[in-house]
Every structure is written in structure tokens, then in C-alpha cells.
Amino acid sequence: MRILVASALLIGFHSTMALADPPPPPGSKPVSELLQSIEKSPDFGYIDEVEWEDNALEVKFYTKTGTKKKVYLDPKSGEQLGGNQRRY
């Protein structure tokens, strides 16, 4: 019985680790610094979601008019990655 409980705990722990977001790439700027370029935009409303995806920072945000946008930022420079800004 103890082996079953221990096995279940290990499997549960292992599956939780697999769902964790990957860390930012080495040499990345702090997320707070990366978000400043979006927050300075005149039509910026508020940030909805931020996550690392394919070595880029994916940022979903709303404008002051309520339009939801998604942009990808280079984690080292903070620049928006070409053409990835889109409404959805």
C-alpha cells in the first residue's frame, strides 16, 4: 500500500512539473521592463495575460476602447517581433 501511495505522489508531482511554463531565455530583460513599451502606448488600457512562448514574451492586452490585442516581444531587446501584433 505504501508503494502505491508513493508511486501516485511521484506521478502526480512529475505531471505537475511537465505543465510548468519554461523559464525565460538566458539574457532576457525583466518582464516589467519588457512591458513598458506596451504600457507607454497612448491607446493602452490594461494587460490581460503574459506568458513565454517560443522564446518570446506573448502579451495580451486591451486598449482604452476595449479592443483585445496580442503582441510578441523579443525577450532580450524588448522590440515587437515582426507582424505578430493582431486583434482577436
How many distinct structural domains can be found in the chain? 1
Q: In a 10 Å sphere around its CB, with 0-12 CB exposed, 13-18 middle and 19+ buried, how is residue 66 labelled?
A: exposed
Choice between 25 and 75, residue whose per-residue pLDDT is larger: 75
Q: CATH code at 22?
A: 3.10.450
In terms of residue numbers, what domain contains 18? 2-87
Phi-psi region of 19 (alpha: psi -120 to 50; beta: other; left: phi over 0): alpha
13-22 pLDDT, tens digit per residue, is: 555 556 777 7
Where do the DSSP E strands lie in 3-85? 44-53, 56-63, 68-73
Q: What is the pLDDT of residue 83?
A: 58
Distance (Å, rounded) from C-alpha 20 to C-alpha 17? 5
Q: In the predicted model, what is the mean pLDDT of residues 5-14?
A: 54
